[in-house]
Structure 1
């Protein structure tokens, strides 16, 4: 949960780098919350709950995705590759799941070596 809250605290932070763990824990918790909200919304007849949550976390989701790509040495613009049907999403998942560069790059120092500010 700390990883999820850390991303929310850095709401619109598009600069820097994000570890794989930070990105994937945020994604896991976000999907879990969205599923729970969908179930609750379906039970009470308020199907818009999950949509409102998705809109609320759109900016932090984009920001952590950009920071994750920065960790792999890529520009945040690579997120747009997901717009290519089927192949783009697969390529993006490979980029997001790959190991970050161990050395410092133009986006900052390796987040594994930097002290956590949680």
Structure 2
């Protein structure tokens, strides 16, 4: 595997520090993730499963793309291993997780997760929902939590000394 990565990255990133790129790729270990679950790891997993809080547009988009890629790959593997049942399992997982992520996005604009039901209205429902999901989030806190793009207290410098 490392040979493939070395050839691939040497082709696309000529002149770059390969050791730094390799360390970045192999830094995350799924075994380490399962062996030592910490709050940050569990929050990431729960953000895909639970519909609490708010998420910014870019984060929503990247999570959705990652979810599509992972569920497609594992769905194909599941179909190969367990037939249609395996593929159906990952399709259901995709629907659940994409609804949770989209609900978080709707929370960012101040709408309830029940707004996802507009998807069931033919033609105009999906268009309205897409417009809502890609619109700018509400500034400041709302009833669903604090603004994910807020940077209050991000860089505080005490110059009194």
TM-score tier (shorter): 0.7 to 0.9
Are 1:7 and 1:64, in contact at CA under 8 Å, matched by a contact in 2?
no
Q: Among 57, 64, 68, which residue is 1:27 paired with?
A: 64
Whole-Å separation in 2 of the counterparts to 1:88 and 1:35 = 25
How large is the Cα RMSD of the aligned pairs? 2.7
Q: 1:63 aligns to what?
A: 100
Residues 13-92 of structure 1 mapped to structure 2, 5 A cutoff? 13-37=50-74, 39-40=76-77, 46-92=83-129
More contact order relative to length (CA 8 Å, sep ≥ 6):
1
Query: Deviation at 1:13?
Result: 2.7
TM-superposed CA distance for 1:81, in Å, is 0.3
Tell me the SS of whatever aligns to 1:35: helix
Segments of 4+ in structure 1 off by > 4 A? 37-45
| Structure 2 counterparts to residues 77-116 of structure 1, below 5 A | 77-113=114-150
Q: Offset of 1:27 from its aligned partner?
A: 1.2
Range moving further from structure 2, 50-59 or 72-81: 50-59
The offset of 1:114, in angstroms, is 5.9
- In the alignment, which residue of structure 1 is the partner of 2:21? none
CA deviations 1:15-40 (Å, max 9, x no partner) are 21111122111211222234334555
Q: TM-score, normalised by structure 1?
A: 0.73
Structure 1 unaligned spans of 5+ = none
The separation in 2 between residues aligned to 1:63 and 1:23, in whole angstroms, is 10
- Given that 2:60 and 2:102 are in contact with CA atoms closer than 8 Å, whether structure 1 keeps it comes out as yes
Point out where structure 2 has 5 or more consecutive residues left out of the alignment.
1-41, 153-161
